Amino acid sequence: MSNYLVTGAAGFIGARTSEMLLAQGHTVTGIDNMNNAYDPRMKEYRLRKLEAIPGFTFVRGDIAERSVIQHSTLNLQPFDGVINLAARAGVRYSVEDPWIFIDSNLTGTLNMLEVARNSGNCKFILASTSSIYGSNPPYPTPESASSSEVLQPYAASKKGAEVLAHSYHHLYGIDTTILRFFTVYGPAGRPDLAIFRFVQWILEGRPVRINGDGNQSRGFTYIDDIARGIIAALKPVGYEVINLGGHEVITINDLVTLIEDITAKKATVEHGPPNPADMFTNWADVSKAREMLGWSPEYDMRRGTEKLVEWYLAERSWAKDVLTP
């Protein structure tokens, strides 16, 4: 069995990936600064579940701080892989405070590459984003599409992290897989993303706020499919960029209709102006993930949304109060 470092371990993707690694018998050291980028109750909930699983060690720390490289827990024994999922995410917020995105997404990646180097140049996985493809890529979007015309500092910080990871691969031979995520959803998901907000708002009888006319679309992927893809990406590849998820596209209006159907509740929709930082659509070409990683999604949009609604209803006593700005 192997020993992994997972950054952003209390985050949505990091927590589920850690759970799956632990279920396979691996040991996981998780690091997270438990910031308030969204309602901290979500991270606290995920972390409580992780800390109950044997083989998990938690470090409360910020990967953007250079001192984390020398943290005693991160130097107890070499890691077989560093899975860097910690990040400041959110295209709109990055316009308001780009500095914090550079700190976490770029400087944080640099520090974790140093941790990988100190672990004998172990495997390195970097979470990147579909936002890197800008406003007018081909659809479905292959990894070869241009990533030089980003629309916001969030995507720019991820592009910088990708290039930095390549430099460490070139200089030190660190085997690196860049995973470009699209829109990930599921139980205990990020409350700042549309699908969690819509479920809460519809079930609690609150207005459903949509930016624009709702004809914009996103390529969604269920959390378990993403976590399986991350673990598959631990294989040696040299240096590769791989789209993960984003294969099932649905408009925002149709997403509201789907949740209405699953919950048997009618939404009260309020439309606002579109946000210029948002892409109109994303849709991934995942053929490379299928070929290189043997990855194939198991959940379709309806089944995954049903799982999210089931989770919400089970945790409704506190989930109804989670902030969904």
Amino acid 91: pLDDT: 81
- Sketch out the chain's domains with CATH numbers: 3-187+222-247+282-298 (3.40.50.720)
**β-pair type (217-222, 248-251):** antiparallel
pLDDT at site 275: 84
Would you name the residues annotated as active-site residues? 154
Cα dist from 96 to 50, 91, 129, 159, whole Å = 32, 10, 19, 19
The angle formed by the CA atoms of residues 42, 48 and 52, to the nearest 5 degrees, is 150
Q: What is the pLDDT of residue 162?
A: 98
Spans of the chain below 50 pLDDT: none
**Dihedral angle sign, alpha carbons of residues 146, 252, 127, 284:** negative
Question: pLDDT digit string (tens) for 52-68?
Answer: 999 999 999 999 999 99
Question: Are 30 and 19 within 8 A, CB to CB?
Answer: no
Determine whether 27 is exposed, middle or buried from the number of CB atoms within 10 Å of its CB (0-12, 13-18, 19+).
middle
Count the helices and strands in the chain (H runs, E runs): 12, 12
* pLDDT recorded at residue 50: 98
Contact 156, 87 (CB under 8 A): no
List the Cα angle 155/160/165 in 5-degree steps: 125
pLDDT score recorded for residue 193: 94
Q: What is the pLDDT of residue 270?
A: 97
| Strand-by-strand arrangement of the 176-181 sheet | 56-60, 27-32, 3-7, 81-84, 123-129, 176-181, 239-244
Identify the pLDDT of residue 259.
98
d(CA 97, CA 103): 11
- Radius of gyration in angstroms for the set of CA atoms belonging to the chain, rounded to a whole number: 19
* pLDDT at site 279: 77
Task: At 147, list the tokens.
Answer: 């990533």
